Amino acid sequence: MTDVANCRALELMCLQRAECDPENRWKWFGQADRWHSLGKREAAWRFQRMPQQMYAGAMAMGPYTVSGDSRPKQQG
């Protein structure tokens, strides 16, 4: 399981504990918020580490001009 999935699982566990333990609900909500924040940071960190070649860029579809396809038309 990834670190992001672990953070989300722990966040869910804390939210479930908050329902079962009304006296300490504030504590469990605080812990759930902490795990949520850690999960977001972990996801952002993983996204930053992705190699840049995975992004195809704006020209991925082809070299089209504003007026249309600039390649010569085939006769046929």
SS3 69: strand
Domain boundaries, the chain: 1-49
What is the radius of gyration, based on Cα positions, of the chain? 24
φ and ψ at residue 47, rounded to 5 degrees:
-65, -40
Task: Look at residue 1 in the predicted model and tell me its pLDDT.
Answer: 47
pLDDT single digits (tens) 4-49:
999 999 999 999 999 999 999 999 999 999 999 999 999 888 888 7
pLDDT exceeds cutoff 90 at 63: no
Task: Look at residue 47 in the predicted model and tell me its pLDDT.
Answer: 80
Task: Look at residue 67 in the predicted model and tell me its pLDDT.
Answer: 65
SS3 64: strand
Residues contacting 3, CB < 8 A, separation 6+: 42
Task: Look at residue 10 in the predicted model and tell me its pLDDT.
Answer: 96
| Contact (Cβ atoms closer than 8 angstroms) between residue 70 and residue 63 | yes
